[in-house]
Structure formats: C-alpha cells, structure tokens
A and B are shown apart, each in its own frame.
Chain A
Amino acid sequence: MDPILQAFWIVIDPYNLTVMTLAGLFGMFVGAMPGLTATMATALLIPVTFFMPPVPAVAAIVTATAMAIFAGDIPGALIRIPGTPSSAAYVADSYKLTQKGQAELVLGCCLVFSAIGGIFGSLALAFAAPALAEISLRFSSFEFFWIAIFGLTCAIFISTGHPIKGLVSVLLGLFIATVGIDPTAGQPRFTMGSVELLGGIDFIPVMIGMFAISELLRWVLGTRKVESLQTKQLGSVFRGQWALFLKYKWNTLRSSVLGVMIGFLPGAGSDIAAWVTYAISKKFSKEPEKFGTGHIEGVVDAGAANNSSLSGAWVPALVFGIPGDSITAIVIGVLYMKGLNPGPTLMLDQPEMLYAIFIVFMIANIVMLPLGWVAIKTFRHVLKVPREVLMPLILMACVVGSFAMNNTLFGVGIMLTMGIIAYFMEENGFPIAPTILGLVLGGLVENNFMTSMMKADGNLLAFFERPISAVLGVIVIAAWIWLIWSMIRAKPPLVTDEEASVT
C-alpha cells in the first residue's frame, strides 16, 4: 500500500483520535493555567505515552504542545499573565486590547493566527524533512559530529543572555550523558559503585525534575497571587478575523517562515520565535509607535511565529536526530524508546510513520480552532481550579511518572536532585534547556567523535576532509569565534534575562 495512505489509516484510527482529543484538552488546560508551561505538559505526558504505540505517543505530544502554546495567549490577553513563556512577547499589546474592549478580537486573532502559523509550519515540515533527509543520507560520523556540535553551540548563544551560563548548562548535560558504561571501551564512568548508574541516567526523570519540580518549587516560594478575571462574557471570537488576515497577510507569511527557521535552529524554541518576530514586526511596521499600546499587528506576527516554530523544531529532530528545542529533545527520547530511530534512515525504513507524523501535525493545528474556542469560553472555570490542589497532584504525577520509567525509585531520586539543581540554575540566570540538549546529544557527540577517530586513525584534520563536513566545521568554528568576540565586546543579548524569565 502507498505509504501516505497507510499513514492516513494509522492516524484516523479511533484510538489515535481519542488520544489526540484528550491530549489537546490537557494541553489547553496546562497552557491556559499561568505558571504551567508547554514543556511541563510534555514532561507530564511522557510517562503516559510510554505505554502507547508510536504514532499515538507522538500525536499526544504534538497536539498537547500546539494547544498549550496557543492557550498560553488566553491568560496573557485576559489577566496579563502569559500562560507560557511563548506568549510573553506580546502580552502588553494583547492585554491593552482587552482593556479597550476588544477581548474577542485579540483572542480570536491569537487562535486563528496560531492555527495558520501551525499549518504553515506543518507544510514546511512535510516538504523540508524528506528533502533534507535525502541530503543527510550521505552524512557520515564526521558530519553528524559537526551537526551535534552546531546544535549545542546554538543552544549556548541563542537561549540566554549569558553565554558562559549557557555553556555551563550544556556542559552539565554532557557530563550527565557520560555517566554509565562508556560506549567504546566499556569503562564504567562516574557510577560510584551503583549498579543503577551503570546503565546511565535516563533523561526522562531528569527532564521531569528540571521542568516540573523546579516549576513547583518556584510556585511554592513565589507570591501565589490569586488572579481574578475582570472581563465579562465573551462574544464571537471569529468575527473580524478575515479582515485582519487580509490586512496582515504578508506579516503572517513572513512570521510563519521566520518561525519555522528559528524553530529549526537547535536551542531556540517558540519563545525566541515570538520575541524575534515581534521585534521585526515593529521594525517594519507602518505604525511602530503603536506597538505596546494595544496594537494587533505584533500579536498577529508573534502569534503565528510561535506555533510555526513548533513544527520547525521537528525538522532537525526527524532528519538528523538533533532536537530543535527542549520539547523535541524529549520527543527524540520517546522516538528512540518506540524503536523509531530519528535520522535520515527513518524516511527509508518507515516512511508511513513519518507521513503519519506530518498528518498528525496538520490535524492538530486544524483541531486547534474548535478546541481553542472551547478553551476561551471555559477559561473562567480553568482559573477557578485552586493551584493549592493542583500543585500537590502535579508533584504526585511527577513521582509516579519517574517511577514508571524503570519501575524503580532510582528515577524518583534523579528527578528530585535535578529538580533542585534546575531551580537554583533558573533562579540565577542559567538556562535549563541546554542541559537537556547536552544530555540528549552527549552520547551522539561522543560516539560520532570516537567512530570518526577510529576511521581516521586519530587524525583530527579528517573532520575537514569531506566537503559537507568541512563546511559544517567552518560554520561551527565561526560561530564560536563570534560567540567569544561578542562576550569580550559584551554586546546586549538577543533575549535579556528579564524577558526570558517572564512566565
């Protein structure tokens, strides 16, 4: 049977569709709840997806994250608290529009342009991934080594204002990846005599700890303010969106393309996409003075970009096995667990799986419209769920999720330790996403380096002898020179600490 048709059958399976709907509702809830992020939604979903077949597992993550990124706009517009960091860029505008009595317009705009951005991103993914996979089939360990290093480099200087702190974060992830039996010589490393550490540190408890436990700690130590909703009953959110689309069709296209490209860069996720496109929108706008005072243009741009970047991040994940952001870093782990080894051979061995993922993306972004409408209408009730009850339940879900990976309490210990470390890191300006990238890519970097050195008999110059490898190598070195130069010159960062910490 034709792989596309086969993929279609896999996706429209009632089990898969039920999983997608439930994951969508879950994503909406997490996204709309201030303080809970899309990455946290993914972290909490993993233990559940562990027990599902591959496509529903991926579908659950795709749907939940797409919904969470949109739903983060709702509290941003209505109570001035972005539900996820990806909505922080335009929260000033969207809230001021609500104050001007245009809550329906701005919420509809967030929903419709999120869906447009998401659908554009899905199309880009469907076309770019197979084309890139063709090229990457020619890659050897030399090229994969450089791509992984490039991923780590991007993670260092895109996601934070302090490159040194980003570097520490990446190194921590790389270090955690070295724990366990060494892949080439079979030497146990940093196991401290523990049998469980011999198998290495599983990244899922690490991730649950870093993204969920640290978040919980921040809530416990924070102000715990109870937000109240001032807006009265909302009318139709779809009215006026077509006119908006016609007016800003070029903005939408530009930001969707940029979103995909930023998502593609390892280490830069939807939050960076939103900040960058908002800034670009302001720069090229005919009315830049209106930005920040309740102007819809920036909302259109950044709203489309943060959703399109979600799909963009999947391109390097599926083609090279290199994650574009922390969510796809988690996804790569899930794909491996499911026997779908991400990389160019996925297209050859299981094309129907790849097509199924593209179709899932498309459906998730279309389903976003009705589900998003429900989320907007029921937001009032979501806000009423007491955080005092939700937080202990999340803690328990984290404990059980970490236990469920290997059915041992070892995972729970790892989760707790990493949660505390991540809390201190984030509070002091160390980004945590690079740690996850380092952990996921650590084994890949070391394996490819060792294989290459065995092939080249220890000659380091072999990394520059193949054409693609040489180009990638030069790009990485240039990026490092630029990084060091900018540190010496102390240039202002792309995203400042204050901006990055708005959640």
Chain B
Amino acid sequence: MRVADWVFGLILLIGAGLIFQQAAGFADMPGQDYGPAFVPSLIATGFTICGLVLIFTGIRARAPAFGLDPAARAPGRIFDALLTLGSVVFLMLVWDVLGFLISSTIVLTVLSARYWGGKIPQALLVGVIGSVVIDWLFRKLLLVPLPLGPLSRWMW
C-alpha cells in the first residue's frame, strides 16, 4: 500500500511531539548535563527534521495520500491481509483458553483454506498435521510452555 511521503512526515511530527512531551517529564541526573531525556530528545529532533523534509518533498510530489498497488486491488486481497493479521489477534485472545493445539489448528485450517481457494479437506489436514508438528517441536523438544487449554486433562 502506497502512502504519500507527507503523511509519513505528519506522523513523524506527531511522534516527535509526543516524545518531547514525555521526555520533559524525565528526572535530571544530578551534577550532569546529559540525563535520561537527552537521547530521546535528540531522536525527536531528528524525527522533526525528517518529518519536515518529507512533508516538503511529499507535497511537491503531489501524490495521493493513499494508494493501492495493482496486485493488491485484486478481489479479496485486502480481506486476506486483514484475515492474516486478525488471525494473530485471534490467537492472542484464545491462547490460554483454547490452548495452542486447538487455536493453531483453527487458524492454520482457515488460512490455508482461504489462500488455497476453499480446499477444505486438504486445509484441515494442513491444520492438524502442522499444529501437531509445531507443538511437538516447541513444547516437547524445546520445552516451550505452549498452553494446552482444555487438552491438559489428556496431555501433559
């Protein structure tokens, strides 16, 4: 997705303002000229300069604020992107309640079915096998405490 330079410039200026505002509240170092606010203020100054340059060049370029690449304009592409990002949010929400195996199976199945153009049985196979393999690799082999959710009664 194309975003015009001046939009980035504006975001940088707002960010710089917020950093300056926060940094003003930082405690000073007694007997020192340079305290915890020094580096953040320098960064914010940098953001301000870059922001102004980008606004200037962006306005001169006269590009629209937002634009989509031709490929992304194909039907369903934006929905796919939102689905992909949404699936991570979904995982975060149900991680402890459903456990890894169940939530991962759901996400893998839905995503592969969607990308693959609705081949649901194959997608389900990918979901189940993929989740079991990742669970085995990380929970059993690398001892990452992936949550089991309701399955904890049968697995440990």
Contacts and interface: CB of A to CB of B under 8 A. Distances in A.
Interface of A: 47-48, 50-51, 164, 167-168, 171, 174-175, 178, 182, 184-185, 187, 189-190, 216-217, 220-224, 386-389, 391-393, 395-397, 399-400, 403-404, 407, 409, 412-413, 415-416, 420, 423-424, 427-428, 430, 445-446, 449-450, 453-454, 458
B98 interface: no
Given A221-B81, A428-B8, A187 B36 contact: yes
B3 A428 contact: yes
11 contacts: A164-B54, A174-B39, A174-B43, A175-B19, A392-B111, A392-B126, A395-B87, A428-B3, A453-B33, A453-B34, A458-B34
B50 to A, nearest CB: 5
B27 A187 contact: yes
Contact of B71 (A223, A388, A392): A223
B149 interface: no
The 7 closest A-B pairs by CB, nearest first: A392-B111, A182-B36, A388-B115, A187-B36, A388-B116, A221-B72, A404-B144
Given A167-B46, A453-B33, A458-B33, A424 B1 contact: yes
A403 B144 contact: yes
Nearest to B87: A395
A220 B138 contact: no
Contact of A407 (B81, B85, B89, B145): B145
Given A387-B115, A407-B144, 9 more contacts: A178-B40, A184-B35, A217-B85, A220-B77, A221-B77, A224-B115, A404-B144, A407-B145, A458-B33
A373 B26 CA distance: 59
Given A167-B46, A458-B33, A395 B81 contact: no
Contact of A453 (B32, B43, B100, B112): B32
A397 B29 contact: no
A318 to B, nearest CB: 26
A171 B34 contact: no
Contacts of B27: 185, 187
Given A51-B142, A190-B22, A222-B71, A216 B35 contact: no
Contacts of B115: 220, 224, 387-388, 391-392
A189 B22 contact: yes
Nearest to A187: B36
Contacts of B107: 392, 395-396
Interface of B is mostly: helix
B24 interface: no
B134 A400 contact: yes
B107, B115, B143 interface centre (most CB from chain A within 10 Å): B115
B87 to A, nearest CB: 7
Contacts of B89: 416
A400 B138 contact: yes
A217 B91 contact: no
A51 B144 CA distance: 9
B8 A51 contact: no
A178 B50 contact: no
Interface string B137-150: 11000111110000
A399 B90 CA distance: 12
Interface in B65-113: 69, 71-72, 74, 77-78, 80-81, 84-85, 87-89, 91-92, 95, 100, 104, 107-108, 111-112
A489 B69 CA distance: 31
Contacts of A446: 39
Given A396-B104, A416-B88, A164 B77 contact: no
Nearest to B7: A428
B5 to A, nearest CB: 8
Contact of A395 (B33, B84, B131): B84
Contacts of A399: 88, 91
B130 interface: yes
B124 to A, nearest CB: 12
Given A185-B29, A400-B146, A395 B111 contact: yes
B53 interface: yes
